Structure 1
């Protein structure tokens, strides 16, 4: 299964941050942007530029979901009670591919999506191959029989740079339960995410 390292590295360098907290990110060696003019002094960014950057960073972190899908998630968040930014984070964290990633069934968001697409993930005992499926509190996500011995999954479970968050409760190494929808400060982002700026971007 492809890990799409180049795509992740391009996004890291464009944002100037190690978005996923991976030890092999090029930002760890070069904090400046890509290209021959990457080391030039940066000009002041406008409010629109900050909002756009916040949206690109958040969208990229979740596997670079399409603009149509991301905007639909934002629209759903606006219709819910409470803070729209918090609602947006909660909806993104409920994605099946993200729970697979949080459970350390996959080393990257992209590989988590691929594992789901290939039918290796079960939700409440039923095979599901839709990465964008929204899981509900109490749903049990488990690995299929073939997936248990896959090198990619064994590698992911041994990664030292991230832990399984509290809202994803493991039951052994092959099953987790989504216990609650997290708030922004509970999500283990390696960098600062600003969903309030994303809300401002779409509210223009």
Structure 2
């Protein structure tokens, strides 16, 4: 299990945006960057800086995805037919931890990863503890019996800050079906994501 090396909300402050749309985000109160000189860090961004920020924002949104994993997803998206940026978003949304998060089984993407790692999630009835596993359209994702009684699962299902998107179909409170790979427009990002800039960053 990869370790989160920095406070999750530090990314919000570095980007100056509430990446996950959570009410507790410090950006709601302080829009400047973290650290002693955060308020003075307002230089004009270069093209490289804009592309890097877009990459960090998209990668950071999916939690503990490593640079190696993210670059591998980009390479896969680049090999596929169609728009590379759309393909990249589709691959990220097919990750098992992302589907668990979209299903509102957990309040955050990190707790989704933890739930999968601890063996509380089943794909088509088979236990899976690999958060990066790619699900396919038609796959059924269910919570184990123990997980259904967890406080964080109950908390997540009561959250009003986000809804289950149309490409994830709920069947009761402990089972969803991944209907299709979404397009960028269908993914309910709380902030604007620009995968085209991520493509530019890696194609330099």
Normalised by the length of structure 2, the TM-score is 0.96
How far has the Cα of 1:7 moved from its partner?
A: 1.9
Q: How does 1:147-162 map to 2 (within 5 A)?
A: 147-162=147-162
CA contact (8 A) 2:104 2:156 kept: yes
Instruction: Report the alpha carbon displacement of residue 47 of structure 1 after superposing the two structures with TM.
Output: 0.2
2:72 maps to which residue? 72
Q: Hey, what does 2:121 align to over in structure 1?
A: 121
In the alignment, structure 1 residue 90 sits paired with structure 2 residue 83: no
Which stretch has the larger CA shift, 36-45 or 181-190? 36-45
Number of matched pairs: 200
Residue 56 of structure 2 aligns with which residue?
56
**Where in structure 1 do 4 or more consecutive aligned residues deviate above 4 Å?**
none
In structure 2, C-alpha distance between the alignment counterparts of 1:27 and 1:128, rounded to whole Å: 35
| Alignment correspondent of 1:182 | 182
- State how far apart, in whole Å, the 2-side matches of 1:52 and 1:154 are: 36
Q: Helix, strand or coil for the counterpart of 2:169?
A: strand
For residues 91-144 of structure 1, the C-alpha deviation after alignment (integer angstroms, 9 at most, x for no partner) is 000000000000000000000000000000000000000000000000000000
Q: Per the alignment, in what secondary structure is the counterpart of residue 198 of structure 1?
A: helix
Matched residue, 2:9:
9
Q: CA RMSD in A?
A: 1.0
Partner Cα distance (1:41, 1:174) in 2: 45
In structure 2, the residue matched to 1:102 is 102
Alpha-carbon deviations, 1:52-97, whole Å to 9, x = none?
A: 0000000000013101000000000011000000000000000000
1:41 Cα deviation after fit:
6.0
List gaps (5 residues or longer) in structure 1.
Answer: none
Instruction: For residue 46 of structure 1, report the CA deviation from its aligned partner.
Output: 0.3
Structure 2, gaps ≥5 residues long: none
CA distance in 1, matches of 2:36, 2:123: 47
1:203 is matched with which residue? 203
CA distance in 2, matches of 1:201, 1:89: 15
Cα distance, 1:36 vs structure 2: 2.3
- Name the SS of the counterpart of 2:177 in structure 1: strand
- Whole-Å Cα distance in 2 between the matches of residues 153 and 53 of structure 1? 32
Give, in whole Å, the separation in 1 of the partners of 2:147 and 2:36.
43
CA distance in 2, matches of 1:63, 1:195: 17
Q: TM-score, normalised by structure 1?
A: 0.96
Q: Which residue in the other structure is 2:42 paired with?
A: 42
